[in-house]
Structure 1
Amino acid sequence: MIPFNKALPYDITMGDVYVPECPFCGRENILIPMKPREIKSVREGKKKLLVFPCCYHKLTVLDSDDDYLLTDTVVR
C-alpha cells in the first residue's frame, strides 16, 4: 500500500514538471528541477535528490507513478 503522507502529486506541462504546492513553504505551482525522463528513471529504481527552488528544502524521490512522487519525507 502506498503511504500517501509521503506522496507528492505532480503534473507535466510542456516538458516541465510542476507540483501544485510546496510542502515546506506553501507556495503554489512550483517548477521543480526534474525532467520527465528523470521521473521514468525513478520509476525504474534510481533515487533522485530534489531541492525545491522556492525554499531550498531537500527530499529524496524514491519511486513514481503517473500522478505521484513517493518521497522519503512526510509531505502531507
Structure 2
Amino acid sequence: MLDFHHSWPYERVAGDLYFEECPFCHQSPVLLTIKKEAVEGAFEGIKTHIVMPCCHEKIVIESMDSDYIWAAQTLR
C-alpha cells in the first residue's frame, strides 16, 4: 500500500476530473487531461500518467479510488 503522502484528492464534475489545487504550482482549479480508458485502468491498478496542464509536471499514477489519485512520487 502506498503512503498517504503519495496521494492527492480529486473531484469528478460532469465526467471531468479536477484537482482543487495543483500539487506543484498551486494553481486552482486544474482540469486533468486523462482519457476515460486510462481512468478505468488506474482503478484496476494499471499505471498511467498525466501531465499537469498548468505547469507541465508529470504524475505517474499507481492507482485511483473514488477520492484520491495514488502516485509514484510524493505529492504532499
Q: TM (normalized to structure 2)?
A: 0.89
Counterpart secondary structure, 1:21: coil
- 2:29 is equivalent to residue 29 of structure 1: yes
Q: CA deviation at 1:47?
A: 1.0
Which residue identity is paired with 1:26? H
User: Gaps spanning 5+ residues in structure 1: where?
Assistant: none
More strand by share: 1
Farther-moved stretch of structure 1 (45-54 vs 31-40): 31-40
Q: CA deviation at 1:40?
A: 2.2
Question: How much identity, in percent, do the aligned residues show?
Answer: 34
Which residue identity is paired with 1:23? P
Runs of 4+ in 1 over 3 A off after TM superposition: none
Partner residue, 2:17 = 17
Counterpart secondary structure, 1:75: coil
User: Gaps spanning 5+ residues in structure 2: where?
Assistant: none
Q: CA deviation at 1:15?
A: 1.1
Q: CA deviation at 1:2?
A: 4.4
Q: TM (normalized to structure 1)?
A: 0.89
- 2:59 is equivalent to residue 56 of structure 1: no
- How far apart, CA to CA, are the structure 2 residues paired with 1:7 and 1:57? 16
Per-residue displacement from partner, 1:7-46 (whole Å, max 9, x unpaired)? Answer: 0101110111001110110101100112454322111121
How many matched pairs?
76
